[in-house]
């Protein structure tokens, strides 16, 4: 046997090893059970891969991103095997890893029940304990069709080899090269237990799956198209240790408690009436109070920053979106046209920027007017399939806090710096503090403008982002075709990441709209355009804050900032006088004059997450005082009425949580 030289690379360290022909990647890492695969010359491989001379091999740990994907993909195979052992008639769809878990689609006569999932999970545990070996096998197209003749969805995937997409998960089954089947082999006899069309890689054996759980099932169209059959999808999760699985399940429980759709109903903030349709919310009075407070504060801060407020209509002639390019690039996300005025197409607007360009272009502009900062709470409409709308975070009609800044090229860096600083400070005012930034750069296959302009703009954005002192994560090729952007990513109270604000440069629209200003030398020049949505949308930001605070908003945003609770009916007039005085100071104070007993009133308003309860009895009436009860149940007695109102005003003005 001849010698084979390979290089083991761990981070920046490289070490040459001499092995014999036929040595597998697994033999480079003996006894290292946390190594579940290898990256060989940049390509992920099973540990059973036979090494070749000169290859660079990197171990893939189970806790790495690649390792977790392999763990979850292998667990999806175990689940599919369990399903077919229990339901032999089930036809296989696709089973990719996804964030924090995996799923597999099945064609079955009836939807899976909770009892079915329990049985499937039990069968998976049996398969895991058997220690079946995942074995890769290269097959021709003809061989694959013959072996999988009873699996119609697999046959379809074989037919699209080379054009499979990551969007629907098909790329985990077939790619542009050779076809492979993974066999699950008995640990003792080597007999075939189950097989699936798959690109891999996979774990060495099912015993490398430490902890998993099936979560739920749902209906899903084959490959995401409503034109295709409806399949049954089972979701699951898998983790490197049982402790990590337990922590994840605890996290999911907390996230479920904070789900804005659940809290919105419990706190009477908003709803989605069937009579209106999916993805279209109505805000109830309490939700309206919170939303107005959010908007009013944002409006005031924008005015302080030199933004000018504008308004634009909800619909426009289609010609405007032809000019902007949205009908070329974004038609699938727009509602169908309405034909008015003798056949003229009108569209509900999906974006505000074309209309802001018309405001800029309504008259001649001078360099002395720049930067011009236009701002609007602009309601837009985007067509989302009913299956993907998700409460307030992904809806069909929503209001953007949308700004477009027009400046000279010389002003670009300063304006970007000023804008990003403003964005971060305003988000902090709403109680969000844990940020990192993402820089999306040019897609070489999809951009307008010169390479030089892109390089200048990207470097300017990079410098602006680095000045903030926050982590900066690259997003290669993630920019829109018209310019690079910075995205503000924010972690909430339980560690989830939300994309918040975007600051986007645009080389496309000023050209398309032929926007000009008169420069100092009297010549016509093209402005730089910056798109900036701070909240993303009012509705989405509302949902983020609702989940971040678990419904217990800081006092300045709370729909009811304090509620008066009388010990007896004789104390109601006194509390009503107090509430009237407080309302004159701009406070939102109510009095609970219901027939409920005092303790039930306290419980009711605790559930409603009211920041302060103002309790009054005979002693308070005689002394001209009130008692404060806080959210945590603590109480402060004998506070003078004026002092109590001043205290409420203070916490509102300072925007603090209590």
Where do the domains of the chain lie? 3-61, 65-248, 304-541, 562-653
Read out DSSP for 262-296? HHHHHTT-EE--TTT-TT--EE-HHHHHHHHHHHH
Query: Would you give the distance in Å from CA 411 to the centre of its chain?
Result: 33
d(CA 535, CA 501): 6
Structure tokens at 461: 């954005």
d(CA 406, CA 359): 11
d(CA 178, CA 184): 20
Residue ranges in the chain modelled with pLDDT below 70:
1, 162-173, 175-176
CA quadruple 210, 216, 220, 223: dihedral, nearest 10? -10
d(CA 223, CA 459): 39
For 366, phi then psi, to 5°, come to: -110, 155
Lateral strand order in the sheet of 434-440: 308-309, 372-381, 397-407, 528-533, 497-506, 485-491, 434-440, 472-475
Residue numbering of the annotated binding site for Zn(2+): 353, 404, 531
Secondary structure string (H, E, C) spanning 302-358:
HHHCCCEECCCCCEEEHHHHHHHCHHHHCHHHCCCCEEECCCEEEEECCCCHHHHHH
CA distances (Å), origin 235, targets 85, 98, 106, 246, 487? 18, 9, 11, 17, 30
CB 180 within 8 A of CB 158: no
Structure tokens at 18: 């001499």
pLDDT number for residue 166: 59
pTM as predicted: 0.88
> Residue 14 is inside which H or E element, if any?
strand 13-20
Topology of domain 304-541, CATH: BirA Bifunctional Protein; domain 2 (3.30.930)
- What is the CATH number assigned to the segment(s) 65-248? 3.30.980.10
pLDDT number for residue 387: 77
Q: State pLDDT tens for residues 65-106.
A: 999 999 999 999 999 999 999 999 999 999 999 999 999 999
d(CA 493, CA 595): 37
pLDDT number for residue 175: 64
CB 580 within 8 A of CB 428: no
Kindly report the CATH class assigned to 562-653: alpha beta
For 19, phi then psi, to 5°, come to: -130, 180
Residues marked active site are found at 353, 382, 400, 402, 404, 485, 531
pLDDT number for residue 453: 85
pLDDT number for residue 481: 81
CB 7 within 8 A of CB 55: yes
Return the bridge partners of 106, or none: 92, 232
- Beta strand extents in 140-242 (DSSP E only): 179-185, 192-197, 211-221, 230-239
- What is the CATH number assigned to the segment(s) 3-61? 3.10.20.30
Other CB atoms within 10 Å distance of the CB of residue 582: 22
């Amino acid at each position: 046997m001849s010698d084979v030289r390979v290089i083991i690379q761990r981070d920046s360290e490289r070490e040459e090893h001499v092995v014999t022909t036929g040595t597998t990647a697994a033999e480079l890492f003996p006894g290292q059970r946390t190594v579940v695969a290898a990256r060989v010359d940049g390509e992920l491989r099973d540990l059973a891969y036979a090494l070749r001379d000169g290859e660079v091999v990197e171990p893939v740990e189970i806790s790495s991103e690649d390792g977790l994907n392999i763990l979850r993909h292998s667990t999806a195979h175990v689940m599919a095997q369990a399903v077919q052992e229990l339901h032999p008639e089930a036809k296989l769809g696709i089973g990719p890893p996804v964030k924090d878990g995996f799923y597999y689609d099945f064609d079955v006569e009836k939807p899976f029940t909770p009892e079915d999932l329990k049985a499937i999970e039990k069968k998976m545990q049996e398969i895991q304990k058997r220690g079946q070996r995942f074995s890769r096998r290269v097959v021709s197209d003809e061989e694959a069709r013959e072996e999988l003749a009873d699996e119609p969805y697999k046959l379809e995937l074989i037919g699209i080899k080379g054009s499979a997409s990551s969007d629907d998960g098909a790329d985990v089954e077939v790619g542009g090269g050779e076809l492979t089947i993974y066999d699950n082999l008995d640990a003792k006899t080597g007999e075939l237990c189950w097989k699936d069309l798959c690109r891999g890689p996979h774990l060495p054996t099912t015993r490398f799956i430490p902890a998993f759980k099936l979560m739920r099932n749902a209906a899903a169209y084959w490959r995401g198209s409503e034109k295709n059959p409806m399949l049954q999808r089972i979701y699951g999760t898998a983790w490197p240790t049982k402790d990590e699985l337990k922590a994840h399940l605890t996290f999911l429980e907390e996230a479920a408690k904070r789900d804005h759709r659940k809290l919105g109903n419990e706190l009477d903030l908003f709803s989605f009436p069937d009579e209106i349709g999916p993805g279209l919310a109505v805000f109830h009075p309490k939700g309206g109070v919170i939303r107005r407070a959010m908007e009013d504060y944002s409006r005031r801060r924008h005015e302080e920053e030199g933004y000018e407020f504008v308004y634009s209509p909800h619909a426009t002639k289609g010609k405007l979106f032809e000019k902007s390019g949205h009908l070329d690039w974004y038609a699938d996300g727009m509602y169908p046209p309405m034909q008015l005025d003798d056949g003229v197409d009108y569209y509900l607007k999906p974006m505000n920027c074309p209309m802001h360009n018309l405001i800029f272009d309504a008259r001649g502009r001078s360099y002395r007017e720049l930067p011009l900062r236009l701002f609007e709470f602009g309601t837009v409409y985007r067509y989302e399939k009913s299956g993907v709308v998700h409460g307030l975070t992904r809806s069909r009609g929503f209001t953007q806090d949308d700004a477009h800044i027009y400046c000279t090229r010389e002003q670009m860096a300063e304006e970007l710096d000023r804008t990003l600083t403003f964005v971060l400070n305003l988000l902090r005012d709403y109680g969000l503090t844990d940020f990192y930034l993402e820089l999306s750069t040019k897609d070489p296959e999809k951009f307008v403008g010169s390479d030089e302009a892109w390089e200048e703009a990207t470097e300017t954005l990079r410098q602006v982002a680095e000045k903030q002192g926050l982590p900066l994560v690259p997003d290669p090729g993630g920019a829109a075709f018209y310019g690079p952007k910075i995205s503000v990513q924010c972690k909430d109270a339980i560690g989830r990441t939300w994309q918040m604000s975007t600051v986007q440069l645009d080389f496309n629209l000023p050209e398309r709209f032929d926007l000009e200003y008169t420069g100092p030398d009297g010549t016509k020049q093209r402005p730089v355009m910056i798109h900036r949505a701070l909240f993303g949308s009012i509705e989405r930001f509302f949902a983020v804050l609702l989940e971040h605070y678990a419904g217990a908003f800081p006092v300045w945003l709370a729909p009811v900032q304090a509620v008066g609770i009388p010990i007896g009916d004789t104390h109601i007039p006194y509390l009503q006088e107090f509430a009237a005085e407080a309302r004159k100071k701009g406070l939102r104070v109510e009095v609970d004059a219901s027939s409920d007993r005092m303790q039930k009133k306290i419980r009711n308003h605790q559930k409603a997450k009211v920041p302060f309860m103002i309790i009054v009895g005979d002693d308070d009436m005689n002394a001209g005082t009130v008692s404060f009860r806080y959210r945590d149940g603590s109480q402060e007695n004998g506070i003078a009425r004026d002092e109590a109102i001043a205290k409420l005003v203070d916490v509102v003005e300072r925007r603090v949580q209590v």
